[in-house]
Structure 1
């Protein structure tokens, strides 16, 4: 198995924990979709920092991208991955009328699919040469 993909999955796991914990926190005082979007934004930023310093460190050091450009690319690629992620969440939330803990757990399938999309974009575009 690709060592970089394992690192990507580890960072993704950390990002998932950040995402889930913040989703739970924000859902206590915000509407669910707003809580989901805020949690996603914080998780994206933590993932970018971890990926640039752990997963793609060697590629990042050889990259011509500046810090702001790299972050912008990562944010854009994460938003592309977020589309099926959030669509899946919305379909589960509304289609099954989920509430409470079930609504929070419904983020898992979308996150799994988005991980594949995000890896491809990060490897080829964000941290690529």
Structure 2
């Protein structure tokens, strides 16, 4: 059994709790996006401000998340051309960006702890944007 089959089985088990399978997959992809997001911030942090690093990392994470959501989360949906769908995904997630990066930027501005450990702000921002990103992605990008 390949890893995706195991992951799909896990999604099926969690779905029994009442969550939709696409939301669970979107959340798993979002968790991976958190890794890309945090990794990019820490990679860029020595060279640019946290605000620039946070903006760049959002674009990196959103692009990787779009690819995985296209190939796995919404794999049974007929897709638009890749460049069109990517642009829609970025546009739809702009609202999530406001909540995600807004939370991150506020915490950077007001919390010395977050400045020292940006991963805290990244996690808080990711949680703030998750629901908005899912609903808009499901309806306007992959729906």
Query: Take 2:38 and 2:128, find their aligned partners in 1: how far apart are those partners?
Result: 16
More relative contact order, 1 or 2 (CA 8 Å, 6+ apart): 1
Secondary structure of 2:76's counterpart equals: helix
Q: CA deviation at 1:99?
A: 2.2
Q: CA deviation at 1:104?
A: 3.6
Query: Take 1:96 and 1:13, find their aligned partners in 2: how far apart are those partners?
Result: 23
Where structure 1 has 5 or more consecutive residues not aligned to the other structure, the ranges are none
Paired position in structure 1 for 2:12:
none
TM-score by length of 1: 0.89
Query: Take 1:94 and 1:27, find their aligned partners in 2: how far apart are those partners?
Result: 15
Q: Is the 8 A contact 2:34 2:122 kept in 1?
A: no
Where structure 2 has 5 or more consecutive residues not aligned to the other structure, the ranges are 1-18
Q: Deviations over 1:58-117 (max 9, x none)?
A: 11x2x4x2222111100111222101111111211112344222x342121111020100
Displaced runs of 4 or more, over 6 A:
none
Secondary structure of 1:57's counterpart equals: coil
How many equivalent residue pairs?
Answer: 124
Which has the greater radius of gyration? 2
Paired position in structure 2 for 1:86:
101
Q: CA deviation at 1:22?
A: 0.9
CA RMSD of aligned residues (A): 1.3
Query: Take 1:104 and 1:54, find their aligned partners in 2: how far apart are those partners?
Result: 26
